[in-house]
Amino acid sequence: MSINMPNTETALMDEEFMAAALEQARIAAAIDEVPIGAVVVQDGAIVSAGYNRREADADPSAHAEFSALTEAARRLGRWRLTGCTVYVTLEPCLMCAGLMQQARIDRCVYGADDPKGGALGTLYRVHEDKRLNHSFAVTAGVRAEECSALLSDFFADLRVQKKLYDKEAQAEEQAQVEARAHTEEQAQAGGSS
C-alpha cells in the first residue's frame, strides 16, 4: 500500500496547503457548486488553484483538481508535473486520478474519502496500478473532518432548499387549481343567467 504517513514537517505543510484547498472549496460553495477545492504545489509554493465549476461552466471535466492541474501545466509551461503535489478536499475520481497519473505528479494529498467515486484508495488504486507507467504517493485524511463537514453542510442546505422549493411549488399549484375552479364557477354562473 502506498498511502503515506508523512513526517511532522510534511504533515504541517499538508495542513497548510489543505487549508488553501478548503478556501477554494468555499469559493465553489459560494457560487452553488459542490464545495471541492484544490491547489497544486511545487517547491513549497502554490502554483495554481481550482474549485468545482461543473455547473457554472456546463463542463463535466471542470473538477477542482482537473482545473488546478491544467492551470499548473499552463503556468509551468509543461505537461509533466513532476515535482508537484496536488492537495484536494475530496478523494479524486477516476478521471482526475487518471489526469494525475498522466501529468506524472509526485503526490496527492486529499481530505475526505469518496465512497461513491474515490479512485485513490476507496474504489480504485490508480496511483499504484502496476499496469500503468507512472505511480505516485497518496496521503489521505488531511483535515478530513473539515472537508467532510463542508460537503455535508452543502448537501444538507441543498435538501432544505429543495424542500422549500417543493412546498412553494405545491402552494403555487394549489393556487392555480383554486383559480381555475373559481374561473369555472364564474363561467357557469354567468352562463346560467
Instruction: Report how far residue 165's alpha carbon sits from residue 86's, in angstroms, rounded to the nearest whole number.
Output: 38
DSSP one-letter code for 33? S
Instruction: Report how far residue 29's alpha carbon sits from residue 96's, in angstroms, rounded to the nearest whole number.
Output: 20
DSSP string, 130-172: TTSS---EEEE-TTHHHHHHHHHHHHHHHHHHHHHHHHHHHHH
Q: Is the separation of the CB atoms in 77 and 48 below 8 Å?
A: no
Strands laid side by side in the 45-51 sheet: 45-51, 37-42, 84-90, 107-112, 137-140
The three cell numbers of residue 37 are 477545492
For residue 94, count other CB atoms closer than 10 A to its CB: 14
145 is catalytic: no
**Maximum Cα–Cα distance across the chain:** 91
Which candidate, 22, 57, 23, 21, places its Cα nearest to that of 40?
Answer: 21
Catalytic residue among 65, 145, 173, 184: 65
Catalytic residue positions, numbered: 65
